[in-house]
Amino acid sequence: MGFSFPASVSFERLQAPFESASDALARFDERLRSSPVAEAFVLRAHFHDACAALWRAGEFVQLEDLVLHDAGMDVRTPTHELVRAHAVLLTRRRIADRDSAWALTTEGLASLRGAGRSHDAVSEPTTGSGAMGEAADLEPDDEDDGTILTGEFAEIDELLARTSRPIERIQPAPPKRDDSGLVYDEDWDDQARFAEWRECLSRTRNLPPLMAASIALDAWEEIEPLQRSAWLGPLLAAALLRSRGKTRQCLTALHSGFRHARYRRVGRDDFESRLVAFACAIETMAKADAKELDRLTLARELLLRKCEGRRTNSRMSQLVDLCLASPVVTVPLAAKELRVSQQAATTMIDELSSNLRELTGRGRYRAWAVI
């Protein structure tokens, strides 16, 4: 059974905005396919869309804080909003790294529904470096060069061996749902609402990809399948565009599109107005992304000129790639990613400073971004 439009919907009014949005999105996707900065653009888009998702929810998250939090280099205790933005970032990466149709499958939806409430913890041993890392592989021996260790020396040797062993990260138990009614509405039936949304999604199979995505997103915001993680709806709509072949090179940043669009959703808007607003947001986003792609391409050409004539083992070209892929670069972040000293990272950043913009205006704890 196909989707039935209300009688008040005028297809003549929908035709022009959806055709313009479809053309703009297709042109940008084709440009991204052959662009030398395509990978960098995709990595940056994840960060921008995560911040835009919190902005649409009425929260403000600094892009610099999100980049540093993702790298594990927070300068302060992460706020609740920053943790939520990081959850959006991880979910976007998860959808983008999987098969194009995975997010809309039963397994994918079941997995993503829990992505906003708990993080996937990886149980990895934390080993020390240098002598401590080598000492972790040693077991307490009863003999040392033929001499029997007894008494206090044996106890000290056993203590040193035990404390130098890898400390295993214990995977935290998933947080329990609060059924007291203070956080979650007791009358909110997630299963029924989610089944209703999936039924609406199944009726859009015969529609064009952009129209199907707009209806799926509108149904998500009307039905509200999840009490928390409402930001998941635009990600699923972007996954729908990708699974239908409308976008092949990236996961569309719908949150960023709605942030840049003039339209703001209100309760009195009719169905037709909401669809037109979706198409306009897609077109606005595609044009803004095309300008961003041009900016990154030009910045890459200017930065690579600084790498000419250098030694083959120079890390300058890797720093250029890092500056393009990350919206914000700091000296500790560059030193960590390039595996160089902070003094070497500072020297290389100073050499690129003519094409980088310092964001903080401070003499210490500075951050740079591509002009």
Over residues 216-245, the pLDDT tens digits come to: 999 998 888 887 788 999 999 999 999 999
Share of the chain above pLDDT 70, in %: 81
Over residues 327-338, the pLDDT tens digits come to: 999 999 999 999
Of 229 and 252, the structure prediction assigns the larger pLDDT to 252
Nearest 5°: the CA angle 22, 200, 104 is 70
Q: What was the pLDDT predicted at 167?
A: 46
Over residues 83-108, the pLDDT tens digits come to: 999 999 999 999 999 998 899 998 99
CA 269 vs CA 14, 24, 205, 265, 320: distances in Å: 15, 25, 25, 7, 46
pLDDT at 7 over 80: no
Strand 167-168 relative to strand 125-126, pairing = antiparallel
Report how far residue 270's alpha carbon sits from residue 275's, in angstroms, rounded to the nearest whole number: 9
pLDDT at 131 over 90: no
pLDDT at 155 over 80: no
Q: Which of 74-78, 260-264, 315-319 has the lowest mean pLDDT?
A: 260-264
Average pLDDT of the segment spanning 263-290: 84
Residues 40, 325: contact at Cβ < 8 Å? yes
Over residues 343-368, the pLDDT tens digits come to: 999 999 999 988 898 888 777 778 89
Distance of CA 167 to the CA centre of its chain: 29
